[in-house]
Amino acid sequence: MNAHEIDYRIIGEELQYVEIELDPQESVIAEAGSFMMMDGNIRMETIFGDGSEGQGLMGKLFGAGKRLLVGESLFMTLFSNAGAGKERVSFASPYPGKIIPIDLSLLDGKIVCQKDAFLCAAKGVSVGIEFQRKLGVGLFGGEGFIMEKVEGDGMAFLHSGGTICERELAPGELLRVDTGCLVAMTRTVSYDIEFVRGIKTAIFGGEGLFFATLRGPGKVWVQSLPFNRLADRIASAARFGGGNKEEGSLLGGLGRMLDGK
């Protein structure tokens, strides 16, 4: 194996974190802002590029450039065990949802995911970009022309919003999902965009104009609560006084006064 072998456990239900146990000289890479806590002999350093090993300066520059294209930082953070025994480091999910452990060695060494899904991975796993070759996917797929790819033969951890649904698609099996609900898929899944049929459904259905169509064989991960949907609801509640159904009525105003709002 090129990637470090790591042990882990996922703790929590809706606000989860992953605790990774490192043997001496083992390391894990993570996105900036995902760190939660670490034992005393864990050493933290900033690395340039996409996290893959054995790269020269040009390779690191190219990896960093790819990360800029998906809206990520030029740098990643490396956490290494500098002690003589086992040490632990933990990473937290950024909003309510589930952490998905993925063994890349069992999935042909690659998955394609939405741009903000990656949380952390064993050292040796690389995080790069995946261009969408189809114009419709790029324009209307919710993720633009660029998605993220995670490659290697070690453990990687993704984050999803809400509850996660994992589906194994048979050859030719079709699954339609909301474009924002797709978290990740294996390399064998065919991804395209389909227009919602019926003008009334498209305009007044409240589900947008496009579906993401996923065709097997392969495995897909679908989230029940995309972050943009959660953010929209919060913003809407903030604009309209907390989202109370009675907010336009006298009773609604009186209730807020009694509640101290």
Whose tokens are 């050859």? That residue is 171
Q: What share of the chain is helix, strand, coil (3-state, %, to 5)?
A: 20, 40, 40
pLDDT of residue 67: 56
Q: Is 214 helix (H, G, I), strand (E, B) or coil?
A: strand
∠ CA(244), CA(246), CA(251), 5° rounding? 125
The closest alpha carbon to 27, from 10, 45, 40, 11, belongs to 45
> Residue 187 gets which letter from DSSP?
T
Q: Measured between alpha carbons, how far is residue 1 from residues 5, 63, 154, 212 in Å?
A: 8, 21, 8, 34
3 state SS of 228:
helix
pLDDT at 137: 47
pLDDT at residue 246, as a whole number? 47
Three-state SS at 159: strand
- What pLDDT is stored for residue 7 in this prediction? 95
Rounded to two decimals, what is the model's pTM?
0.78
How is the chain split into domains, by residue range? 7-239
Render each residue's pLDDT in the chain as its tens digit; 261 residues: 578 999 999 999 888 999 999 999 999 999 888 999 999 999 999 887 655 655 555 555 555 555 565 556 667 899 999 999 999 999 998 888 999 999 999 999 999 998 789 999 999 998 888 866 554 444 444 444 478 889 999 999 999 999 999 999 999 999 999 888 999 999 999 988 877 665 454 455 444 567 888 999 999 999 998 887 777 778 877 776 654 544 444 445 544 544 444
In CATH terms, 7-239 corresponds, of 3.20.20.70, 3.60.160.10, 3.30.360.10, 1.10.760.10, to 3.60.160.10
pLDDT at 49: 61
Q: Is 104 left (phi over 0), alpha (psi -120 to 50) or beta?
A: alpha
The pLDDT, as a whole number, for residue 248 is 46
